[in-house]
Structure 1
Amino acid sequence: MDNGQGLPTCAVIWDLDGVITRTADTHARAWKATFDPFLRAWSERHGPQLAPFALPDDYLEHVDGKPRLDGVRDFLATRGIALPEGSGTDGSQDWTIHGLGKAKNARFRELVENEGVQLYDSTLALIRSLRGYGVSQAVVSSSKNCRYILERCDLLDRFETVVDGNDIEQRGLAGKPSPDLFTEAAKRLKCNPAEAVVVEDAVSGVKAGREGRFGLVIGVDRGGNREMLSTSGADRVVSDLDELKVDDLLKR
């Protein structure tokens, strides 16, 4: 199992939303359902009228792949809004960074409970095949809901480790586009990043994989984001993982 540079491929590190599960759209709709009422209320109080959260552009450019609170800060900055940070005790109705983050999480959970979670069969097929080759696998996500989603899909035991938004909070890791989450996963798998593959659909995640000097970074374009994924450092961009074979992940 050689990546073409004389190094064995010892691990594949998967993003969750938009790569394994069809929950990127769920997150995007939860963000819109959170931001649009807030922006209307803010405009009524402060003026002028602010543009609503635009899909897919605002999602892809400002929140996709980032820790929840970073997404709140970064999107609001595009509308010239700076809210107080608040704290974890804030309610979802509070106009703080934590408050809007809590509101978004509530909407995301509600959508999941009402609609369930769909999976990408092509990704699952690759995961199964890689297990047959003895390649270690991890899931990396900025979301604190990562384990919740994996458990709902009965996928948690398919991976040797999970590094997610809870690790950001508990271990002081930086979120994407920092490589911290990916390097932590490689460390747990006892794998040199140069011998590992990162599979991501978010620009922030591709940047993290490249900055972390991972051996191969695959970008998955689910919504017209191919050029940004490529220019951000993806070695290869695909529309779906059915375009790849196991050998594509084991060799370069």
Structure 2
Amino acid sequence: MLGLPAHVTACLFDLDGVLTQTARVHNAAWAETFDAFLRQWATAHGQPFVPYDPGPDYNRYVDGRPRADGVRTFLASRGINLPEGAPDDPPEANTVNGVGNRKNDILLRRIHTDGVQVYDGSVTYLHAAARAGLRRAVVSASANCRDVVASAGLEDLLEVRVDGVVAAQRGLRGKPHPDTFLAAAEQLGVKPEQAAIFEDALAGVEAGRAGGFGFVVGVDRVGQATALREYGADTVVADLAELLTGRDAA
């Protein structure tokens, strides 16, 4: 009744874009950050300004990755290589970490202003999974995961949290590596093949497949169902509630 194979006993959910609609806020914060940086860079280097594209640029280079990886990967796509800097670099520093911290400041401002919205279908699915006795974890690259989960009122529905803070503390590689998902499965006391991954990001789906997980659900919020399948999703839905009715997106 949950749209999962019988051998699955645990669900590992990405946060942004799967449980909460903060992916939109993240993307807006990335756009504000990168456009300001690219405009400054173009002026300093006598180049034309080409803005960040919140469609393909977000999905290809940023979505699902740890913050610094997103900065590094996107800027590399523009032929820009910045010094790494340090995690506590000020937001005005033109380093990978500085640009990442700039984005985080903008994100927190937007979350404070706009709040956090959940996907109703995902909350319905979480309740159904809890009633069915499935173990439940949230796995996110975000260092703000705890605050977002609390703001969204999802704390009681999620037993384990592995986020950017935990990953940094434990030295876990971010998606597309499977480390954070494997850590969540271990904390829940299940083997990877007993767990299902729920991801809207291509990097997250890739991580689920790389980790040998029992089932990978791609959540298509932006019209990339084909790409999600190509990266390894076993099934693709537009909303988790579809799994409760047995529907599978094309």
* Per-residue Cα deviation, 1:112-135 (whole angstroms, up to 9, x for no partner): 000001111111011001111111
Distance 2:241 2:154 in 1: 19
Alignment of 1:80-91 (within 5 A): 80-91=79-90
Instruction: Output the CA distance in 2 between the equivalents of 1:232 and 1:154.
Output: 31
**Letter matched to residue 191 of structure 1:** V
**Which range moves more in the overlay, 99-108 or 147-156?**
147-156
Alignment partner of 2:161: what SS?
Answer: strand
Amino acid paired to 1:134: G
Offset at residue 152 of structure 1 (A): 1.1
**1:89, CA displacement in angstroms?**
2.9
Give the alignment's TM-score, normalised by structure 1: 0.94
d(CA) in 1 for partners of 2:170, 2:177:
14
Instruction: Name the SS for the 2:92 alignment partner.
Output: coil
Aligned length: 246
CA distance in 2, matches of 1:137, 1:47: 51
Equivalence for 2:168? 169
The equivalent of 2:138 in structure 1 is 139
Which residue matches 1:182?
Answer: 181
Q: Distance in 2 between matches of 1:88 and 1:174?
A: 15
Report % sequence identity.
46
- Equivalents in 2 of 1:17, 1:43: separation in Å? 31
Q: Kindly report which structure 2 residues correspond to 1:105-144, keeping only aligned pairs within 5 A, or say none.
A: 105-144=104-143
Q: Which residue of 2 aligns with 1:29?
A: 28
Q: Aligned pair in 2 of structure 1 residues 194, 188: CA closer, same or farther (>3 Å)?
A: same
* Deviation by residue 1:135-164 (Cα, 9 ceiling, x = unmatched): 110000011011110011221221110001
Given that 1:129 and 1:246 are in contact with CA atoms closer than 8 Å, whether structure 2 keeps it comes out as no
Structure 1 segments of 4+ aligned residues over 6 angstroms from their partners: none
Q: Are 1:221 and 2:250 an aligned pair?
A: no
The residue aligned with 2:193 is 194
**Are the counterparts in 2 of residues 219 and 229 from structure 1 also a CA contact under 8 Å?**
yes
The answer to whether the 8 Å contact 1:72/1:101 transfers is: yes
**1:230 matched to which residue of 2?**
229
TM-score normalised by structure 2 residue count: 0.95
SS in 2 for 1:138: strand
Shift of 1:246: 8.0
Q: Which stretches in structure 1 are left out of the alignment for 5+ residues?
A: none
Preserved CA contact (<8 Å) 1:65 1:202: yes
Aligned equivalent of 1:102: 101
Secondary structure in structure 2 of the residue aligned to 1:243 = helix
Question: What is the distance in 1 between the residues matched to 2:35 and 2:63?
Answer: 17
C-alpha offsets along residues 44-99 of structure 1, whole Å, 9 cap, x if unaligned? 11121141100111000000000000000000001111111111232111101111
Cα gap change, 1:3 to 1:152, in 2 (>3 Å): closer
CA distance in 1, matches of 2:179, 2:60: 20
Tell me, in whole angstroms, the C-alpha distance in 1 between the residues paired with 2:112 and 2:9. 36
8 Å contact kept, 1:126–1:246: no
Are 1:26 and 1:112, in contact at CA under 8 Å, matched by a contact in 2?
Answer: yes
Q: What secondary structure sits across from 1:16 in the alignment?
A: coil
